[in-house]
Amino acid sequence: MQILKVENISKTYGTKKNSKKYTALKNISFEVNQGEFIGVMGASGSGKTTLLNILGSIDKPTTGRFIMNGKDIGTLDKNQLAKHRMENIGFIFQDYNLLETMTLRENIILPLALMGKEIAVIEEKLNKLAGDLCIMDVLEKYPYEVSGGEQQRAASCRALINNPKMILADEPTGNLDSKSGKDLLALLTFINKEYNATILMVTHDVFAASYCQKILFIRDGEIYNELYAGSDKKQFFDSIIDVMSMLGGERK
């Protein structure tokens, strides 16, 4: 089932009068199907975070449109966009973005609380997810009291709790050590398989990307290449490195 269709999206920064225009994205088009785990790779400044922001409807494309769940997101107004984000999208960020003023439990249930769900529903969902993601023991702690890995798991939990159509992850392993990073990637794969969640992950880490089923490479705001994972993981890993070196990005 097709969940997202991106048509010719471009993004230009800088005012029209100003001659100093900077093009972050140029005519990007692709499609995402239900249950896919897609990676977006590119060097710094290639426009991958801009793309993610647009897909997350935090930012607006200059031209082009994208359709999510049968709706043209470009036509929604501010409040509709907020509702759209609340219902359809879950975010996972590099720096977790948990609220320091709340315990992990409160952080996780926040999206549901904002939607005004009943306590019983909230608690049931929370318990199931927190159990699956192994953070039951630290639910009552504040973000600064737990490790980065636990924070990122709580953030994933928050992203999942409203059953979003799509999860957008922006360098989720960027701040984690290799062990925690590996755990998180395993977790994302688990979420992808178990909950049939659609995940779009921006990364420049080749190892992280190798967990994806499909990778879009972006260079200078354009899609440069696409790669599909075969059955051989090692081969997939090598071909990602090849593309990355062609892109001029860093090697890992």
Partner 1 sequence: MNLFTLAFRNIRQNNKKYAMYFFSMGFSVFTVYTFSSLMNNEYVMKAFRYDQRYQSLLTAFGVIILVFVLFFLISSNSSFIRARKKEVSTYSLFGMTNGRIGRLLFLETMIVGTATLVIGILAGIFFSKLMAMFLLNLSLTNFVGDVSFVIDPKSVIITAVLFLGIFIFMGLTGLRVICKFELVDLFKADKISEGRYKGSRVVLVLSLLLIFSGYFIACSKNATVVVLGAIPILTLVITGTYFFFWGGLPKVLNLIKKNKRTYYQGVNLISTSAFSHRMKSLASVMATIAVLSAVAVTAIATGFTLYSNAEKNSYSSVGFDLYYYVGQKDMTDKVHQAFQNHHGVIENEYTLQLYEATPDFHGETLLGQENLTPEERYFRIYSETDYNKMISYSKTNLESVRIAPGEGLYIYPYSMEDIKSTILGKSLDFRSKEIRVTDVIRSAVPNFGSFNTIVIDDSDFQSMKDNGMIKTAAESGKEYHAVTVMNYKNALKSKELYQVVNEVFKNEKQQYRTVYYIYNESMETFGLICFIGFFMSVVFILMTASLLYFKQVMAAEEERHQFRMLRKIGMDVNMERKVIRKRLLPVFFIPLVIGIVHSIFAMKTADTIVFSNLIPVENSYLTVLGFSGIMYGAYAFVYVIFYLVTKNQYTRIVIK
For residue 227, give the amino acid letter: L
Residue 55: CB minimum distance to partner 1, A: 12
Q: Which is nearer to partner 1, 161 or 223 (CB)?
A: 161
Does position 144 interact with partner 1 (CB under 8 A)? The reply is yes
Helices (H) and strands (E) in the chain, counts: 8, 10
Does position 130 interact with partner 1 (CB under 8 A)? The reply is no
Question: Which of 97, 189, 213, 225 touches partner 1 (CB under 8 A)?
Answer: 97
Element (H or E) spanning 22, and its range?
A: strand 22-33
Closest CA to 122 of 158, 84, 154: 158
Q: What is residue 106's three-state secondary structure?
A: helix
Q: Which is nearer to partner 1, 56 or 172 (CB)?
A: 56
Beta-carbon contacts of 77 under 8 Å, excluding residues fewer than 6 positions away, are none
Does position 137 interact with partner 1 (CB under 8 A)? The reply is no
Question: Which of 14, 29, 31, 99 touches partner 1 (CB under 8 A)?
Answer: 99
Residue 246: CB minimum distance to partner 1, A: 33
Binding to partner 1, residues 110-129 (CB under 8 A): 110-111, 113-116, 119, 122
Closest CA to 187 of 164, 153, 161: 153
CA distance 16 to 226: 32
Residue 129 CA: distances (Å) to CA of 124, 157, 172: 9, 6, 18
Question: Which of 87, 132, 183, 222 touches partner 1 (CB under 8 A)?
Answer: 87
Stretch that binds partner 1, among 65-73, 80-88, 196-204, 221-229 (CB under 8 A): 80-88
Question: Which of 69, 102, 148, 182 touches partner 1 (CB under 8 A)?
Answer: 102
Residue 182: CB minimum distance to partner 1, A: 26
Q: How many CB atoms neighbour CB 226 within 10 A?
A: 12
Does position 172 interact with partner 1 (CB under 8 A)? The reply is no
The tokens of 72 are what? 């043209």
Residue 180 C-beta-side C-alpha neighbours within 13 Å: 15
Does position 76 interact with partner 1 (CB under 8 A)? The reply is no
Q: Which is nearer to partner 1, 67 or 115 (CB)?
A: 115
The tokens of 83 are what? 């509702």
**Site residues for partner 1 per CB under 8 A:** 56, 58, 78-79, 82-87, 89-91, 93, 97, 99-102, 106, 109-111, 113-116, 119, 122, 142, 144, 158
